[in-house]
């Protein structure tokens, strides 16, 4: 696959290796009730790819056999649309692991999801939710008309269920990404702005804001190419590369599993078709990895990796430095 992707063929990105695996990130499929401009998985209402129950069982088998993993990080599409989402969450909580749901907020007002907030509360699931701006116009421009108001309603529903409330133990984190080909502003400053604006205007509270850098791949990458901004954006990322961020890029401690059970160093590599390297570059399936120690394994890197190390750095847990 590497050879067929021209911008991935050569890179000066430094070689990195895996540390202890502590997180399994799983994509339950690409179906989503939204169709955002920056979506790096091209998700949308017409996508039909969905993780089956059989693959969910294989994930559970792997988790039971891998005690270093403390967290299952569930993503999509809108992961809640997968029929086996609740079964997977409940089973993983029974094993005693922390669960993160990457929730788009508008899913909470979809038909059939009326009890979703209650379910997430009951299972003590951490929610990481995208809200790329606190201004309606910007959110609707990036994520679709009406998304901002539905997101606000979703956040209010989660707050009412206890999320973000002091001492509730129910964590609600928000995610910011820039509207265009720019680096995110300081996470600390933006978080303070978000907290002030959302509380004053909508009575909304949350725990932390994560700032993420847009990945120059899939829908966002195509948009850059169509506007003639792709090369400049890659150059911006390269110029802002910070070596200190290399120690904490998420692929050091996480593997990403696609809806069919194939394994990658991160979900960006998943979308680029760059499989986890284990002796050969043959695609590896989660069912083959039980009892395989990945520590020290080389991570497959390419030009897009600069989006993780530019400026303050970027990971599924926000800024790195």
Q: Using the rule CB under 6 A, is 108 a contact of ligand SF4? A: no
**What's the burial of 109, exposed, middle or buried (CB within 10 Å: 0-12/13-18/19+)?**
middle
Q: Using the rule CB under 6 A, is 43 a contact of ligand SF4? A: yes
Sorted by sequence, the CB contacts under 8 Å of residue 143 that are 6+ apart come out as: 34, 36, 37, 130, 132, 151
**Secondary structure of residue 281 in the 3-state scheme:** coil
Angle at CA of residue 17, ends 11 and 20, nearest 5°: 150
- Of residues 91 and 319, the one with the C-beta less far from ligand SF4: 319
The number of CA neighbours under 13 Å toward the Cβ of 100 is 19
Q: Using the rule CB under 6 A, is 105 a contact of ligand SF4? A: no
Q: Using the rule CB under 6 A, is 31 a contact of ligand SF4? A: no
Q: Using the rule CB under 6 A, is 133 a contact of ligand SF4? A: no
CA distance 271 to 254: 16
**Secondary structure of residue 264 in the 3-state scheme:** strand
Q: Using the rule CB under 6 A, is 39 a contact of ligand SF4? A: yes
**Position among 234, 250, 294, 310 found at the interface with ligand SF4 (CB under 6 A):** 250
DSSP 142-183: HH-TTHHHHHHHHHHHHHHTTTT-TTS---EEEEE--SSSS-
CB of 11 to ligand SF4, least distance (A): 10
Window of 112-120, 235-243, 284-292, 296-304 that interacts with ligand SF4 by CB under 6 A: 296-304
CB of 249 to ligand SF4, least distance (A): 4
**Position among 266, 276, 294, 320 found at the interface with ligand SF4 (CB under 6 A):** 266
**Position among 11, 19, 22, 35 found at the interface with ligand SF4 (CB under 6 A):** 35
Angle at CA of residue 83, ends 78 and 89, nearest 5°: 75
- Of residues 32 and 91, the one with the C-beta less far from ligand SF4: 32
Window of 4-12, 221-229, 234-242, 298-306 that interacts with ligand SF4 by CB under 6 A: 298-306
Q: Using the rule CB under 6 A, is 251 a contact of ligand SF4? A: yes
DSSP 87-126: HHHHHHHHHT-EEEEEE-SGGGGSTT-TTHHHHHHHTT-E
Q: Using the rule CB under 6 A, is 265 a contact of ligand SF4? A: yes
**Position among 74, 249, 271, 319 found at the interface with ligand SF4 (CB under 6 A):** 249
Q: How many other C-beta atoms are found inside a 10 Å radius of the C-beta of residue 312?
A: 20
Q: Using the rule CB under 6 A, is 129 a contact of ligand SF4? A: no
Tokens of 291: 């009892």
Window of 49-57, 74-82, 110-118, 172-180 that interacts with ligand SF4 by CB under 6 A: 74-82
Give the N- to C-terminal CA distance of the chain in Å, as an integer: 32
Q: Using the rule CB under 6 A, is 299 a contact of ligand SF4? A: yes
- Of residues 145 and 166, the one with the C-beta less far from ligand SF4: 145
CB of 107 to ligand SF4, least distance (A): 8
CA distance 251 to 300: 9
The number of CA neighbours under 13 Å toward the Cβ of 170 is 19
Window of 46-54, 162-170, 234-242, 297-305 that interacts with ligand SF4 by CB under 6 A: 297-305
User: Can you give the binding site for ligand SF4, defined by CB under 6 A?
Assistant: 32, 34-36, 39, 41, 43, 76-78, 104, 249-251, 265-266, 268-269, 299, 301, 304-305, 308
């Amino acid at each position: 696959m590497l050879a067929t992707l021209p911008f991935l063929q050569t890179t000066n990105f430094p070689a990195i290796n895996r540390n202890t695996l502590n997180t399994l990130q799983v994509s339950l499929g690409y179906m989503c009730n939204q169709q955002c401009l920056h979506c790096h998985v091209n998700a949308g209402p017409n996508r039909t790819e969905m993780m089956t129950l059989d693959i969910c069982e294989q994930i559970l088998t792997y988790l039971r056999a891998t005690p270093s993993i403390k967290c299952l990080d569930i993503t999509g599409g809108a992961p809640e649309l997968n029929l086996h989402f609740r079964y997977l969450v409940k089973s993983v909580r029974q094993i005693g692991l922390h669960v993160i749901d990457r929730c788009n907020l508008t899913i909470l007002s979809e038909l059939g999801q009326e009890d979703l907030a209650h379910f997430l509360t009951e299972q003590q699931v951490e929610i990481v939710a995208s809200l790329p701006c606190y201004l309606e116009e910007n959110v609707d421009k990036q994520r679709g008309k009406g998304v901002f108001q539905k997101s606000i309603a979703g956040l209010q529903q989660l707050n009412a269920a206890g999320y973000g409330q002091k001492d509730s133990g129910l964590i609600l984190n928000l995610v910011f990404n820039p509207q265009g080909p720019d680096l995110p502003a300081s996470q600390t400053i933006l978080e303070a702005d978000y907290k002030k604006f959302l509380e004053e205007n909508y009575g909304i509270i949350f725990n932390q804001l994560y700032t993420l850098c847009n990945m120059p791949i899939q829908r966002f990458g195509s948009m850059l190419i169509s506007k003639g901004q792709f090369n400049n954006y890659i150059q911006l990322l390269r110029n802002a590369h910070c070596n200190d961020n290399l120690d904490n890029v998420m692929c050091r401690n996480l593997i990403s599993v696609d809806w069919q059970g194939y394994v990658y160093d991160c979900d960006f590599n998943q979308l680029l078709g760059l499989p986890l390297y284990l002796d050969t570059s043959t695609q590896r399936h989660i069912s083959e990895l039980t009892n395989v120690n990945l520590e020290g394994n080389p991570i497959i890197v390419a030009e897009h990796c600069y989006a993780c190390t530019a400026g303050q750095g970027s990971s599924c847990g926000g800024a790195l430095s």
